[in-house]
Amino acid sequence: MSTTRKAEPQFATEAEERAYWESHDSSVHVDWSKAEKVRLPNLKPSSTSISLRLPNSLLERIKVAAGKRDVPYQSLIKIWLAEKIDTSGTQR
């Protein structure tokens, strides 16, 4: 197996770099056997705010369900959406 590594390409934008790494194997550029584990305790997942119009009655039902679980209703909506995406992906 060759130990010669290619230099990392230069990118004009973050989107260009993302597209490259999504379609190329990083082991051509990086010797992962020399990688070290690190902890990033203050790293928070990125999120985007969205505006979503819901009927008042539906929102009230969601708030009641959230109250029964003792979680904020926005968090419960995120949990339900993630569960739906996870289960729908396995049913294909």
pLDDT digits (tens, 9 = 90+) for 59-71: 999 999 999 999 9
Higher local confidence (pLDDT), 4 or 51: 51
Residue 4 pLDDT more than 90?
no
Q: What is the mean pLDDT of residues 8-13?
A: 90
Higher local confidence (pLDDT), 47 or 74: 74
Higher local confidence (pLDDT), 91 or 89: 89
Burial 24-56 (b: 16+ CB within 10 A, else e): eeeeeeeeeeeeeeeeeeeeeeeeeeeeeeeee
Confidence of residue 9 (pLDDT cuts 50, 70, 90): confident
